[in-house]
């Protein structure tokens, strides 16, 4: 199959996350509206959603993911073949993700809440540099980019959407063939570019301050 530049939102929550309202049908609808080739479903400590979505929308590339809580912040596991234990240290989490055949991405590492900060190390496969929900957005994007460059790691982007209209506000351009294994391989090989804008202030207010604190 021919390699092309695919547009993938690598960080989407669905209504399986208590702080998200997005239904699987809305993921399909907004992925189409935003011109995405695919999404990674990354609920908090749950792998729910990806399989169901893939069955419902065969035209969409669906990557199975989970946003794992660790003692040092959030880690996104992509394409792991089994559930990942929550609340371990970042290094233990990375090891478990690798043993499960997945890749480990440091989620919003420089945000003020649930950022990984000093816990980010070269053991990760990639750094989420653009997170549309990150606050403060421009500063955390710049700091995350600097971190990725310093560690020599690939850079990804995702919306961290919790409401449907946020889907695709950030995404990753990946040079790969349109299948999950090729995309995951391409991320590891640094064939990525993170793109995106912050979610709108109105969307931030709609989440409410409590939701915002819970979400990061
Ligand atoms: Zn998230
Ligand atoms: Zn998070």
C-alpha 54 to ligand 1 mean position (Å)? 20
CA 114 / ligand 2 centre spacing (Å): 6
Ligand 2 centroid–CA 67 distance in Å is 7
Q: Supply the pTM of this predicted model.
A: 0.93
Q: Give the model's pLDDT for residue 202.
A: 81
Ligand 2 being an ion, which residues bring their Cβ within 5 A of it? Answer: 74, 107
Work out the mean pLDDT of the chain and round it to a whole number.
92
For residue 148, the SS3 value is helix
Asked whether the predicted pLDDT for residue 215 surpasses 90, the reply is no
Interval 14-28 mean pLDDT: 91
Nearest ligand atom owner, CA of 75: 2
Q: How far is the CA of 2 from the centre of ligand 2 (A)?
A: 34
Give 115 Cα–ligand 1 centroid separation in angstroms.
11
Which pLDDT belongs to residue 179?
Answer: 96
C-alpha of residue 31 to centroid of ligand 1, in Å: 17
Question: What pLDDT band is residue 209 in, cutting at 50, 70 and 90?
Answer: low
CA 35 – ligand 1 centroid, Å: 21
Per-residue model confidence as pLDDT tens digits over 146-184: 999 999 999 999 999 999 999 999 999 999 999 999 999
Backbone angles phi, psi at 84, to 5 degrees: -110, 135
Cα–Cα distance between 146 and 142 in angstroms, integer?
6
| Predicted pLDDT of residue 210 | 45
Is the pLDDT at 91 greater than 90, yes or no? yes
Q: Write out pLDDT tens, residues 32-73.
A: 999 999 999 999 999 999 999 999 999 999 999 999 999 999
CA distances for 9 relative to 13, 38, 134, angstroms:
11, 7, 15
Separation CA 129–CA 195 (nearest Å): 9
Q: Is 195 left (phi over 0), alpha (psi -120 to 50) or beta?
A: beta
How is the chain split into domains, by residue range? Answer: 4-215
Give the mean model confidence (pLDDT) for residues 20-30.
95
For 4-215, CATH number? 3.20.20.140
Ligand 2: centre distance to CA 215 (Å): 6
């Amino acid at each position: 199959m021919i390699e092309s530049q695919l547009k993938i939102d690598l960080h989407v929550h669905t209504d399986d996350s208590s702080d998200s309202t997005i239904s699987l049908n809305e993921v399909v609808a907004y992925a189409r509206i935003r011109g995405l080739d695919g999404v990674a479903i990354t609920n908090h400590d749950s792998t729910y959603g990806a399989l169901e979505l893939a069955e419902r929308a065969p035209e969409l590339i669906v990557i199975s993911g989970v946003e794992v809580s660790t003692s040092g912040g959030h880690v996104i596991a992509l394409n792991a073949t089994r559930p990942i234990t929550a609340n371990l240290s970042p290094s233990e989490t990375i090891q478990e993700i690798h043993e499960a055949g997945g890749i480990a991405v440091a989620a919003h590492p420089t945000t003020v809440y649930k950022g990984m900060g000093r816990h980010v190390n070269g053991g990760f496969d990639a750094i989420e540099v653009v997170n549309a929900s990150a606050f403060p957005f421009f500063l955390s994007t710049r700091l995350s980019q600097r971190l990725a460059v310093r560690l020599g790691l690939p850079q990804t982007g995702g919306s961290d959407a919790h409401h449907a209209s946020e889907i695709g506000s950030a995404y990753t351009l990946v040079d790969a063939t349109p299948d999950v294994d090729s995309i995951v391989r391409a991320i590891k090989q640094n064939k990525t570019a993170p793109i995106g804008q912050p979610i709108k202030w109105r969307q931030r207010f709609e989440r409410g301050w409590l939701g915002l604190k819970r979400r990061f």
